[in-house]
Amino acid sequence: MNLHTSWLQQYLDRPIPPRELVDAMPRAALEVEAEEVVGDGYQVELKVLPNRPDCLGVLGIAREMAALFSCNVIWPSDQLPPAAGDEKFSVQIDEPDLCRRFTAAVFRGVKIGPSPAWMQTVLTQAGLRPINNVVDITNFVMIETGQPMHAFDLAKLAGRKIVVRKLRDGETLDLLVGKPIDSTYGNPLCVCDAEKPQALAGIMGGKSAGTEATTTEVLLEVAYFDPVHVRKNVKAVRNRQGSGGSDSSYRFERGVDPNQMLDFARRRACSLIVELTGATLAGPPTDVIAKPTNPRIFTLPAARVSRLIGTTIEPAVVRESLTKLGYQVTDNDVVTVPTYRVDVNDAVVLAEDVARMIGYDNIAAELRPARATRGADCKASRLRTALNRGLVNAGWLETKNDPLESLALASRWLGEPPPALQLNNPATAEMAVLRRTLLNGLLASTQRNVFRGAPGVRLFEIDRTFATLPGIWTLAGIAGGVPGPMNWRGATPVDFYTLKGTIEDAFESAGMRVSFLPIDPKPGSPMRAGASIQIGSERVGWVGELDSATAKVDRAAFKIFGFEINLAAVEPRFEQPVKYAPVSRFPASARDLAVVAKTEITFAEIERVVRASGGDKLERVELVDEFVGKQLPTGHRSLAIRLTFRDPGRTLTAEEVTASVEAVVKQLSAELAASLRA
């Protein structure tokens, strides 16, 4: 709703500086979207809160302002002009639930012409285009009162009769704007003459009975239509035709007042038509109330308001605040709600009105004694935080990628997504399916960074994926190249082992140990080669080199590695109690062995044999180095392994350590045909 403050001021009995009016608007359910100094006041663009259609007319806004500034509303003249005859006009309402009230007034001797300049100014300021005096009066009274109305050229109506009924199968209605409406629009409520529909009720008039330059007889409709039904019809038109609705339907959809304001509006419009078009009223207007609208009544003791607001509010303040806004309040706190306040469906709304009148900013902020509760973060969230910190400490960057992706991306590794993951109404094809892996987004971010010249990446994301509904927390990452600061002593690109180490560190920092088992990736999987990530016997994810054919990163001069972990599977292993293990005060003895074995013998096998044969003093088995070269027999490699021995109760002698090492060497030879490097 757009208006100029000088127009609003005309309805107030005390002059209020325009600036103060604008500043008070937010307290009156009005959001000031834009303001501009024009002449002696402000031209403002207001967003009326959707629950307050009573403020879709300047009188409603004036009512709020009068309450806030403790003055009165000046109601303009609404004297119903005397009727020239006693002509009756018939109105029949077939759908009392959809049209509670319909009033009709007949005018003769109408001279169509331009409306007066003052009216055109107000309409223009409100963003409405002046058309002719009759149409302008209906629009003017609408923005003055919030009550929409419609003027028909009476000569074009058949049977001198109005029937308010649903559009029948086979009927069509050609509207002033847009394509014709028929019963496929859901049999919307129409205002009809004796033969056919002439207007889509509350939304728009038809082409055939509109006023034009030659019109001399006018039928003025001022009615109440059901908000839900009007909204449904507007939606139907909008869905079919791309646009729909009008200033009228905007108000009907939100709810107009079928009583006091409707009455005022029709009298006001009648008096203006007679005054400005030279017409006379043909007879007393017809007023059919198919279903009365009774005011709502609530009891609101001041104690209830005080309890809700959290500060003592005297009964007199409650009564005064509500009375100013047009409520009737009895001494025993019974409040009658004016029917223009369609939003008041519970006593709490009355409390809100009292709070608004006091001013939200005048209510003291105060934490009052309340029962304590224990603040806590849930375990799943603590796990995410712990792993997030673990990766960040390793130099990784946390990303946030789109959870919606294209059907093609969603399908590339996991096949077509089930319908439950596909949006019924995607805005774009790029954002149409809920993701089942974080990899696509991470790859897109990797690609973006590579295009922008990054020599390497270390990116991760922790978020929900939707392979299992309603979603499962997932951690994934992508690394490759030489990310981070340059190491001038020898920059080594990310490879499988650095990524594996990062994952181990991150989990260890979160109090968990992970292990890895080799897996053979299935064809079509994003991974070319890699391992499963295990916690104990539970498989929680995978890590490996990505397949450069399917997980393609253009212009990347390095191999791309990735991992993905199901955090729901990790969660039960998180936050296991830590048990202290005794610490030996005696020194450890370390021996290095260069073990030459066939290349296909894994480190895990060697480690297993070493541990099994090293005796109970063997504390650690560590890989120090891997060597492959011509000095070794073909198909062999040398693994330098450090064995660390320790006894909790004494210092081990050199002889004891040597004996243990010899046992290890013997067993390596026996089980794995491994020898020591000469």
Partner 1 sequence: MSNTDELVSAIQAAGADALRDIAAATSAEQLEQARIQYLAKEGVITKFSKSLGTVPGPEKKRVGQAVNDAKNGAQAAWDAKKADVGGGEKKIVAGFDVSMPGLRRGVGRRHPITQVLDEVKSVLIGMGFRYDDYPEYEDEFHNFDSLNTPDWHPSRDSHDSYYTKPDAKGEAHVLRTHTTAFQIRAMKAIGQPPIRAMTAGRCYRRDDIDATHYPIFNQIDAICIDRDVSFADLKQTLYTLLTALLGDDIQLRFRPSYFPFTTPSAEVDVLYRGKWMEILGSGMMRPEVLRNGGIDPEQFQGFALGMGLDRLAMRKFGIDDIRHLYENDEQFLSQF
Q: Which of residues 499-538 bind partner 1 (CB under 8 A)?
A: none
> Of 11, 152, 466, 561, which one interacts with partner 1 (CB under 8 A)?
466
Between 289 and 309, name the residue whose CB sits nearer to partner 1: 309
Stretch that binds partner 1, among 382-390, 553-561, 583-591, 612-620 (CB under 8 A): 382-390
Burial degree of 576 (CB within 10 A; 0-12, 13-18, 19+): exposed
The answer to whether residue 289 forms part of the interface with partner 1 (CB under 8 A) is no
The answer to whether residue 243 forms part of the interface with partner 1 (CB under 8 A) is no
**Cα–chain-centroid distance for residue 186?**
30
How does DSSP classify residue 362? G
> Of 259, 445, 525, 589, which one interacts with partner 1 (CB under 8 A)?
445
Stretch that binds partner 1, among 166-174, 318-326, 385-393, 611-619 (CB under 8 A): 385-393
Between 152 and 574, name the residue whose CB sits nearer to partner 1: 574
Neighbours of 588 (CB within 10 A): 15
The answer to whether residue 555 forms part of the interface with partner 1 (CB under 8 A) is no
The answer to whether residue 97 forms part of the interface with partner 1 (CB under 8 A) is no
The answer to whether residue 120 forms part of the interface with partner 1 (CB under 8 A) is no
Question: What separation in angstroms does the CA of 246 have from each of 46, 191, 251, 253?
Answer: 17, 16, 9, 10
The answer to whether residue 377 forms part of the interface with partner 1 (CB under 8 A) is yes
Residues between 22 and 61 with contacts to partner 1, criterion CB under 8 A: 26-29, 31, 49-52
Burial degree of 208 (CB within 10 A; 0-12, 13-18, 19+): middle
**Spatial distance between the Cα atoms of 563 and 552, rounded to a whole number of angstroms:** 15
> Of 40, 94, 174, 402, which one interacts with partner 1 (CB under 8 A)?
402
Interface map 179-218 toward partner 1 (x if CB under 8 A): ----------------------------------------
Under 8 Å between Cβ of 340 and 257: yes
Q: How far is the CB of 118 from partner 1 (least distance, A)?
A: 32
Under 8 Å between Cβ of 583 and 445: no
Least Cα distance to 353 among 21, 22, 3, 29 occurs for: 29
Q: Where are the beta strands (DSSP E) in 527-667?
A: 527-535, 538-546, 560-566, 589-598, 618-627, 636-645
Least Cα distance to 457 among 399, 503, 412 occurs for: 399
Stretch that binds partner 1, among 16-24, 157-165, 229-237, 536-544 (CB under 8 A): 229-237
**Spatial distance between the Cα atoms of 200 and 226, rounded to a whole number of angstroms:** 13
Q: How far is the CB of 471 from partner 1 (least distance, A)?
A: 5
The answer to whether residue 407 forms part of the interface with partner 1 (CB under 8 A) is no
Q: How far is the CB of 396 from partner 1 (least distance, A)?
A: 4
Q: How far is the CB of 239 from partner 1 (least distance, A)?
A: 9
How does DSSP classify residue 581? -
Under 8 Å between Cβ of 421 and 434: yes
Stretch that binds partner 1, among 113-121, 306-314, 510-518, 525-533 (CB under 8 A): 306-314
Between 571 and 607, name the residue whose CB sits nearer to partner 1: 571
Q: How far is the CB of 473 from partner 1 (least distance, A)?
A: 8
Q: How far is the CB of 172 from partner 1 (least distance, A)?
A: 26
Q: Which residues, in sequence order, are bridge partners of residue 531?
A: 518, 543
The answer to whether residue 396 forms part of the interface with partner 1 (CB under 8 A) is yes
The answer to whether residue 459 forms part of the interface with partner 1 (CB under 8 A) is yes
**Spatial distance between the Cα atoms of 189 and 229, rounded to a whole number of angstroms:** 8
Q: How far is the CB of 434 from partner 1 (least distance, A)?
A: 7
Q: Which residues, in sequence order, are bridge partners of residue 31?
A: 47
Tokens of residue 434, six digits: 């809920």
Which residues 6+ apart lie within 8 Å of 340 measured at CB? 54, 60, 146, 256, 257, 259, 260, 261, 326
Between 316 and 378, name the residue whose CB sits nearer to partner 1: 378
Interface map 147-186 toward partner 1 (x if CB under 8 A): ----------------------------------------
> Of 71, 289, 407, 421, which one interacts with partner 1 (CB under 8 A)?
421
The answer to whether residue 394 forms part of the interface with partner 1 (CB under 8 A) is yes
Q: How far is the CB of 498 from partner 1 (least distance, A)?
A: 11
> Of 117, 316, 364, 678, which one interacts with partner 1 (CB under 8 A)?
364
Between 192 and 230, name the residue whose CB sits nearer to partner 1: 230
Which residues 6+ apart lie within 8 Å of 63 measured at CB? 54, 73, 325, 326
How does DSSP classify residue 83? B
Residues between 590 and 609 with contacts to partner 1, criterion CB under 8 A: none
The answer to whether residue 425 forms part of the interface with partner 1 (CB under 8 A) is yes
Sign of CA dihedral 446, 450, 452, 457: positive
Q: How far is the CB of 455 from partner 1 (least distance, A)?
A: 10
Which residues 6+ apart lie within 8 Å of 316 measured at CB? none
Question: What separation in angstroms does the CA of 291 have from each of 98, 201, 221, 225, 258?
Answer: 10, 17, 17, 11, 10
> Of 15, 485, 523, 649, which one interacts with partner 1 (CB under 8 A)?
485
Stretch that binds partner 1, among 130-138, 196-204, 285-293, 353-361 (CB under 8 A): 353-361
> Of 140, 473, 516, 542, which one interacts with partner 1 (CB under 8 A)?
473
Strands 397-398 and 456-465: parallel
Between 466 and 558, name the residue whose CB sits nearer to partner 1: 466
The answer to whether residue 488 forms part of the interface with partner 1 (CB under 8 A) is yes
Between 370 and 578, name the residue whose CB sits nearer to partner 1: 370
> Of 470, 577, 629, 635, which one interacts with partner 1 (CB under 8 A)?
470
Residues between 320 and 349 with contacts to partner 1, criterion CB under 8 A: 343, 346, 348-349
Between 267 and 324, name the residue whose CB sits nearer to partner 1: 324
Both ends of the chain: CA-CA distance in Å?
93
Tokens of residue 339, six digits: 């029917």
Under 8 Å between Cβ of 409 and 446: no
Q: Coil, strand, or helix at residue 16?
A: coil
Residues that bind partner 1 (rule: CB under 8 A) add up to a total of 97
The answer to whether residue 365 forms part of the interface with partner 1 (CB under 8 A) is yes
Kindly state the helix (H) or strand (E) to which residue 288 belongs, with its residue range: strand 286-289
Angle at 143 between CA 98 and CA 27, to 5 degrees: 100
